[in-house]
């Protein structure tokens, strides 16, 4: 029994879904950013038994509207500033529809010829956009965490002194990896999963600007080598998760070259800013990296998921991941066929490339670059508003498009009371979420509770940020009154 619709009905239901999408964007400013009720309420929406019989598409669509759209967090809102969440561009919407309809599997060339070459093209475009080698190999995967894992797996393979793939780590000296204290948690997880041991991930102290202290790094590498350990990799962060600090990549490249280390750059968030005039100079030296992680689903406005691995010497990816069982050999010797499965851990892979390719084609690199530039200007504008006010205090520098700050009340006697301000700002973060006009999260900067506002959202304007600061002020004042 076919599961398909007849062509007219297919057209009808796609149009109905399209109407919902259009309605969603038309009404985006009328929705709260955080729409969900209590967890039990959401859970209740999805606690029915397995449906034995199917229903009409219209009924299902209306359920999607009520149960999903009306409770979803509006990451697409101009007032969403949490984590590193891009707004998702609209060019990608039809691209995703077509990609799903085609159901390509990017594991091997003969299963997805144009998809394979498009992905390679997209990888070259991303590399070019950020000034990296056009010869680099790489691919699109779920996100920065997995991409960091892949790059560190390559580093381990290439820099270890034994055959890790066959022998495991047993015969190796302890391998060490270096990253600043501001490194993303996915690096700790990767080191764990690669069997290297988290304590062999050396967290190097940072300077006042929260970038890696190069002298401390050099000292640690020498100390480890003298102790008989095997330093294999140093990681530069091109846009830290907390504050967007960019490590001195040129200096890191030099250290890696002196000590024969793999030079990996985690540019998951910040990478695209390498293409801008305002921040491009911070990324000098990134082109020397052996591998780079960049997330198109962050600051290139691609909808989730889209992370990207770039490895300067493509052969290193193949050396790490190629394994050819009989059942996958069918056409393997045909010349010119590029089989992604030889370069990846994953076998079945989504046609992620189409939405990125369509985005580049529709807007051109120029408009993407200008939009990133606008985000940088927007966050600098917000930082100025904070600096000019008496009741806010900025807690971090603003190298890219994130600012950390706290509400410190209009009452000067409270300005130095860190314990009070920590409590106030912690409560304020929850209050902002509950209120729903904006979505902001928090972090700790030098042990102090901070609000963290990110702008990698092409829908945000300076006017939104004017309102944001007033909303936070209003709620901050309410929380202060409740606490005093
Ligand atoms: C610097 C950095 N690296 C890696 C990641 C992980 O990226 P993803 O959430 O796509 O797995 C993040 C996430 O914010 C990040 O900020």
Q: What is the pLDDT along the chain (484 residues), one digit of tens a residue?
A: 799 999 999 999 999 999 999 999 999 999 999 999 999 999 999 999 999 999 999 999 999 999 999 999 999 999 999 999 999 999 999 999 999 999 999 999 999 999 999 999 999 999 999 999 999 999 999 999 999 999 999 999 999 999 999 999 999 999 999 999 999 999 999 999 999 999 999 999 999 999 999 999 999 999 999 999 999 999 999 999 999 999 999 999 999 999 999 999 999 999 999 999 999 999 999 999 999 999 999 999 999 999 999 999 999 999 999 999 999 988 777 788 999 999 999 999 999 999 999 999 999 999 999 999 999 999 999 999 999 999 999 999 999 999 999 999 999 999 999 999 999 999 999 999 999 999 999 999 999 999 999 999 999 999 999 999 999 999 999 999 999 8
* Spatial CB neighbours of 61, under 8 Å, sequence gap ≥ 6: 13, 16, 17, 20
Token code pair at residue 365: 């690199």
pLDDT of residue 333: 74
Question: Ligand 1 center to residue 268 CA distance, Å?
Answer: 6
Q: Report which ligand 1 atom has the smallest distance to the Cα of 142.
A: 10
Q: What is the 3-state secondary structure (H, E, C) of the chain?
A: CCCCCCHHHHHHHHHHHHHHHHHHHHCHHHCCCCCCCCHHHHHHHCCCCCCCCCCCHHHHHHHHHHHHHCCCCCCCCCCECCCCCCCCCCCHHHHHHHHHHHCCCCCCHHHCHHHHHHHHHHHHHHHHHCCCCCCCEEEEECCHHHHHHHHHHHHHHHHCCCCHHHHCCCCCCCEEEEEECCCCHHHHHHHHHCCCCHHHEEEECECCCCCECHHHHHHHHHHHHHCCCEEEEEEEEECCCCCCCECCHHHHHHHHHHCCCEEEEECCCCHHHHHCCCCHHHHCCHHHCCEEEECHHHHCCCCCCCEEEEECCHHHHHHHHCCCCHHHCCCCCCCCCCCHHHCCCCCCCCCCHHHHHHHHHHHHHHHHHHHHHHHHHHHHHHHHHHHHCCCEEECCCCCCCEEEEEECCCCHHHCCCHHHHHHHHHHHHHHHHHHCCCECEEEEECCEEEEEEECCCCCCCHHHHHHHHHHHHHHHHHHHHHHC
365 class by beta-carbon count within 10 Å (0-12 exposed, 13-18 middle, 19+ buried): middle
Question: Ligand 1 center to residue 308 CA distance, Å?
Answer: 11
Kindly state the greatest CA–CA separation across the chain.
Answer: 76
Q: Report which ligand 1 atom has the smallest distance to the Cα of 83.
A: 14
In the structure, which protein residues have their CB atom closer than 6 angstroms to any atom of ligand 1?
A: 84, 143-145, 148, 184, 186, 237, 241, 266, 268-269, 295, 307
Question: Ligand 1 center to residue 116 CA distance, Å?
Answer: 25
Q: Which of 267, 295, 400, 454 to mutate to test the pocket of ligand 1 (most atoms within 8 A of CB)?
A: 295
pLDDT of residue 329: 87
Question: Ligand 1 center to residue 125 CA distance, Å?
Answer: 21
pLDDT of residue 1: 73
pLDDT of residue 330: 80
pLDDT of residue 334: 74
Q: Which of 148, 241, 402, 456 to mutate to test the pocket of ligand 1 (most atoms within 8 A of CB)?
A: 241
Q: Which of 268, 308, 310 to mutate to test the pocket of ligand 1 (most atoms within 8 A of CB)?
A: 268
Residue with tokens 């299902």: 60
Give the C-alpha separation, 460 to 77, whole Å.
8
Residue with tokens 């120029």: 366
């Amino acid at each position: 029994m076919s599961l398909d619709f007849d062509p007219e009905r297919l057209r009808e239901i796609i149009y109905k879904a399209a109407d919902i999408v259009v309605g969603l964007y038309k009404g985006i400013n009328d929705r709260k950013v955080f729409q969900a009720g209590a967890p039990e309420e959401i859970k209740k929406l999805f606690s029915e038994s397995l449906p034995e019989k199917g229903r009409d598409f219209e009924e299902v669509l209306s359920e999607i509207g009520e149960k999903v759209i009306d409770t979803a967090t509006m990451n697409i809102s101009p007032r969403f500033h949490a984590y590193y969440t891009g707004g998702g561009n609209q060019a990608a919407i039809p691209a995703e529809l077509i990609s799903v309809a085609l159901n390509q599997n990017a594991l091997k060339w003969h299963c997805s010829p144009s998809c394979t070459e498009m992905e390679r093209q997209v990888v070259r475009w991303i590399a070019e956009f950020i000034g990296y080698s056009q010869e680099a190999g790489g691919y699109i995967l779920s996100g920065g965490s997995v991409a960091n894992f892949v790059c560190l797996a390559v580093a381990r393979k290439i820099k270890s002194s034994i055959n890790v793939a066959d022998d495991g780590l047993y015969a190796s000296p302890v391998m060490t990896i270096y990253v600043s204290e501001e490194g993303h948690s996915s690096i700790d997880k990767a080191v764990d999963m690669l069997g290297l041991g988290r304590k062999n991930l050396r967290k190097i102290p940072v300077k006042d600007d929260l970038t890696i202290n190069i002298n401390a790094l050099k000292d640690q590498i020498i100390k480890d080598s003298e102790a008989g350990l095997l330093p294999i990799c140093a990681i530069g962060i091109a846009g830290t998760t907390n504050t967007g600090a960019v490590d001195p990549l040129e200096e890191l490249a030099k250290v890696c070259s002196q000590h024969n280390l793999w030079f990996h750059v985690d540019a998951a968030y910040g990478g695209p800013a390498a293409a801008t005039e305002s921040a491009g100079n911070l990324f000098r030296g990134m082109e020397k990296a052996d591998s780079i992680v960049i997330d198109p689903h962050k600051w290139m406005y691609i909808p989730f998921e889209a992370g990207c691995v770039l490895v300067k010497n493509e052969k290193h990816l193949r050396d790490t991941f190629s394994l050819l069982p009989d059942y996958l050999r069918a056409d393997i010797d045909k010349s010119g066929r590029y089989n992604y499965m030889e370069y990846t851990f994953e076998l079945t892979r989504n046609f992620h490339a189409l939405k990125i390719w369509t985005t580049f084609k529709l807007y051109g690199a120029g408009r993407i670059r200008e939009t990133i530039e606008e985000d940088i200007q927007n966050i600098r504008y917000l930082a100025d508003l904070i600096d000019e006010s008496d009741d806010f205090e900025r807690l971090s520098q603003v190298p890219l498009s994130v600012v950390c700050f706290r509400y410190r009340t209009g009452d000067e006697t409270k300005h130095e009371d860190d314990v009070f301000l920590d409590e106030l700002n912690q409560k304020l973060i929850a209050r902002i979420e509950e209120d729903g006009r904006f979505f902001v999260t928090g972090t700790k900067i030098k042990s102090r509770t901070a609000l963290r506002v990110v702008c990698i959202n092409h829908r945000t304007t300076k006017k939104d940020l004017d309102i944001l600061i007033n909303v936070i002020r209003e709620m901050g004042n309410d929380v202060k009154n409740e606490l005093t």
